[in-house]
Structure 1
Amino acid sequence: MRKYAYIGCLGFIGVITTEFGVIGILPQIATYYEISIDRAGLLLSAFALVIALTGPFMTLFASGFDRKKVMLLSIFLFAITGLVSSFPPPFWLLMLVRVLPAFLQPVYIATALSVAVSQGDKNNENELMSIVFSGVAIAMVTTVPFATYIASICSWEYSFYMQSTISIIALIAIYVGLPSMPVKEKKSYGSQLKILKQPTFIASTAMNFFMITAWFSTYSYFADYLNKAKNMNHTMVSYMMLVFGIIGVLANWTAGKMLDKNITKTTAFFLSGTILIPILLHFSGGNTGATIVVIGIWGFLYSPSFLNASTYMISSAPKSLEFANSLATSFGNLGISLGTTAGGWLIATKSVVYTPWLTLLFGVLALLMMGVRRVLERNNFK
């Protein structure tokens, strides 16, 4: 039933708006609190690190509870976070409030995906998952750039009002649109944990980690990069995030169709962007027109990364969808944390201009992990 997938997508928009809505306003937050941009980046990296460290355990713990209640609790916490953050609290309190919903983010994503495919046909599971994951691209085209835009004409606090509003809308949709969904048969922890012994799953997890690290080495500082490396003002940056997101919606739809045909080739195709984009950004120089074109290509190749990562990992452990996806979310967010930290370190020691080369470095490592999995599968080490 596509209805469940669309409701899951709406909640995902709220989740992504909260997690990534700060990307476009990090320079303003740094200015307000009189801190460096790399320290402001902790608002993103700390959020991601909490997900990485607690995601699988929280998902296993929540796997026996009514799925509707789990989704409601998760989104409620995201709504509260936005409200408190909008009152410019001290930076330490802003950090604390930011990381609280991170404990339930992977739980929400894993549960929403499970709900989406529970009533669907086995043959279109990837398509239903792509609907849920399209929440990432839709947030990138609507709420995330709007958060940046509203901060550029008002103040950064207003972006948090908007984040909270989206979560409240999603909360209502889940409450009204989903029936009670108690878990009829809870899988044992042991049956789910055994996928951690599978070599192909381990290689897939490493690929996910390096791929997300690659993208976020630069994307975490999207606004700062375009400000300083491409001489764009805050309003122009919000327009670039809009372009990024519009193309991202198309990319997620395209990736969903492609994944149904061949998961490995689709993942490799979009992953190639981690090599291509740094080179294109370098050669676009100060040419604004060329930079806009590169940002469009960047948006297309980056946007399905979470969908590709989850599908690629689940394909090596199809009987443990929720747990495998929670691990995909956790290691993806560990990648966000490492990418943001590595990018921040490079900015602090060198310049934001160099961050795309980190993307290329980690992208090569991700492609190598795909090669490792390929070799393992050929030798029947599954």
Structure 2
Amino acid sequence: MPFAVYILGILIFSQTTSEFMVAGMLPSLSADFGVSYSAIGYLISAYALGMIIGGPFLTIGLSKMPRKKALLTVTIIFLIGQTIGAIAPDYGVMMVARIITGIASAATFGVSMSIAFQLVSPQARGRAASIVLGGLMVATAAGVPFAMLFDQYLGWRSSFWAVVVLVFIATILMQYFIPTLASQGQISLKKELESFKKYSLWSAYGTSLLIIGATFAAFSYFTPILSDLTGFDPKIVPFILAIYGVATIIGNIIVGRLADAYMLSTLTIGLVILTVALVIFGLFVEIPVISVAAVIVIGLVGVTLNPAMATRVTRAAGTGTLIATVHNSAINLGLLIGSAVGGLTIDTGYGLSSPLWVGAILAILGLISLLPFIRGKIPSADVS
């Protein structure tokens, strides 16, 4: 496996840490900017909004640019946005910074995967993808907890600067170790747009949106829930989130092995377990043992359903760049909706545990979206 592939994994790890770490620093950011927890939750939504806007447009806009140059370009844009966030004097500037980094991150995911696939043989693409996207799982297991520790001992700005340093190092390594590659070529929009007429594709997008929305409605507010409602010492919460991250890594491995042969069953069972975990968490949020167990289960069956989600999309409409990018946008739209609606329920007086119930409702809707396929109403070729 080329060393360049591991560099891409480091890059995804760094940027994903930036995306998720705000969820672990709600109290600090809230106190410093003088806004509510839910307002800080909207910073997660802003990042996701940037990815939704930036993904499809930048995928097309960068298609004629050499891949290495395209990746360096979007990485520099990310560094600018992350630096603005590190020095942000107020909430408004931080919001702008999060949108910029979100847009850049959307393009980074697509271009990184394209480079990884070109660097290896077709038989090694699955392994290459697991290394690059493994950065996302490691970010939840290690990046976010370490960012929280930086926040607690050195202040939240140190966490932002740490990401700047990591991305800068990855950029230098990219310059030296990633070879100059050809452009992606002209995207056949007409051919790919034909696929968007398929109900099975939009259903797959919808289910992915609901799964991620359910997960992030809860995850975005884990820190205040665990400290304010469950009663954990704030210094313990990073370790609980680290356990959550390890669960996502384990779940990703398991789902990755099941997705090809049992895609629909994996999605269905995963959503049932996710729903039950969120409901139990909401009912017994003040009991530490149950809360930690619920967090672990959500880690096992939340974002870790990604391989099955991606498999369903490719079976519905193939592996086109635009199809994959719009799927990424759907996933981030789910993240935005989950975190935003969770924050809205807190603001409207439903309590700090209300995002857990938002997540449960979204998970149930995800199950409902699968019913036509479970009942065989859609041709089996689309869902097998």
The answer, yes or no, to whether TM exceeds 0.5 is yes
1:77 equivalent to 2:51? Answer no
Q: Distance in 2 between matches of 1:73 and 1:129?
A: 22
CA drift at 1:124: 5.8
1:96 equivalent to 2:96? Answer yes
Q: Please give the secondary structure, in 2, of the residue aligned with 1:352.
A: coil
Q: Distance in 2 between matches of 1:302 and 1:381?
A: 23
Corresponding residue of 1:337: 336
Number of residues of Structure 1 aligned to a counterpart in Structure 2? 381
Identify if the C-alpha distance between structure 1 residues 288 and 98 changes in structure 2 by more than 3 Å, giving closer, same or farther.
same
8 Å CA contact 2:255–2:266 kept in 1: the answer is: yes
Q: Distance in 1 between matches of 2:257 and 2:4?
A: 19
Identify if the C-alpha distance between structure 1 residues 53 and 78 changes in structure 2 by more than 3 Å, giving closer, same or farther.
closer
Corresponding residue of 1:152: 152
With 245-254 and 337-346 compared, the bigger mean Cα shift is at: 245-254
Q: Please give the secondary structure, in 2, of the residue aligned with 1:235.
A: coil
CA drift at 1:29: 0.7
CA drift at 1:191: 2.0
8 Å CA contact 2:66–2:184 kept in 1: the answer is: no
CA drift at 1:208: 1.0
8 Å CA contact 1:113–1:129 kept in 2: the answer is: yes
Q: Distance in 2 between matches of 1:381 and 1:315?
A: 6
Corresponding residue of 2:250: 250
* Letter in structure 1 aligned against 2:73: L
With 158-167 and 292-301 compared, the bigger mean Cα shift is at: 292-301
Identify if the C-alpha distance between structure 1 residues 35 and 71 changes in structure 2 by more than 3 Å, giving closer, same or farther.
same
8 Å CA contact 1:195–1:201 kept in 2: the answer is: yes
* Letter in structure 2 aligned against 1:207: T
Q: Distance in 2 between matches of 1:351 and 1:117?
A: 46
Q: Distance in 2 between matches of 1:240 and 1:318?
A: 38
Write the mapping of 1:168-187 to structure 2, written as runs, cut at 5 A. 168-183=168-183, 185-187=185-187
Corresponding residue of 1:142: 142
8 Å CA contact 1:136–1:303 kept in 2: the answer is: no
Identify unmatched segments of 5+ residues in structure 1.
none
Corresponding residue of 1:271: 271
Q: Work out the percentage of aligned pairs sharing the same amino acid.
A: 21
Corresponding residue of 1:296: 296
Identify if the C-alpha distance between structure 1 residues 310 and 168 changes in structure 2 by more than 3 Å, giving closer, same or farther.
farther
8 Å CA contact 1:214–1:358 kept in 2: the answer is: yes
Q: Distance in 2 between matches of 1:77 and 1:270?
A: 36
With 337-346 and 173-182 compared, the bigger mean Cα shift is at: 173-182
Q: Please give the secondary structure, in 2, of the residue aligned with 1:89.
A: coil
Q: Please give the secondary structure, in 1, of the residue aligned with 2:259.
A: helix
CA drift at 1:279: 2.7
Q: Distance in 1 between matches of 2:152 and 2:312?
A: 38
CA drift at 1:139: 0.6
CA drift at 1:56: 1.3
1:47 equivalent to 2:32? Answer no
8 Å CA contact 2:137–2:245 kept in 1: the answer is: yes
Corresponding residue of 2:129: 129
Corresponding residue of 1:378: 379
CA drift at 1:22: 0.9
CA drift at 1:136: 1.3
CA drift at 1:210: 1.2
* Letter in structure 2 aligned against 1:179: P
Write the mapping of 1:222-241 to structure 2, written as runs, cut at 5 A. 222-241=222-241
**Aligned residues: CA RMSD:** 2.3
Identify unmatched segments of 5+ residues in structure 2.
none
Q: Deviations over 1:161-191 (max 9, x none)?
A: 1121221222223222221111264232222
CA drift at 1:19: 1.1
Corresponding residue of 1:357: 357
Corresponding residue of 1:18: 18
CA drift at 1:122: 4.8
* Letter in structure 1 aligned against 2:363: G
Identify if the C-alpha distance between structure 1 residues 172 and 280 changes in structure 2 by more than 3 Å, giving closer, same or farther.
farther
* Letter in structure 1 aligned against 2:278: P
1:191 equivalent to 2:194? Answer no
Q: Distance in 1 between matches of 2:77 and 2:166?
A: 12
8 Å CA contact 1:149–1:234 kept in 2: the answer is: no
Identify if the C-alpha distance between structure 1 residues 290 and 42 changes in structure 2 by more than 3 Å, giving closer, same or farther.
closer
Q: Distance in 2 between matches of 1:65 and 1:376?
A: 43
Corresponding residue of 1:37: 37
CA drift at 1:3: 4.4
CA drift at 1:362: 0.7
Corresponding residue of 1:280: 280
Identify if the C-alpha distance between structure 1 residues 118 and 49 changes in structure 2 by more than 3 Å, giving closer, same or farther.
same
8 Å CA contact 1:270–1:304 kept in 2: the answer is: no
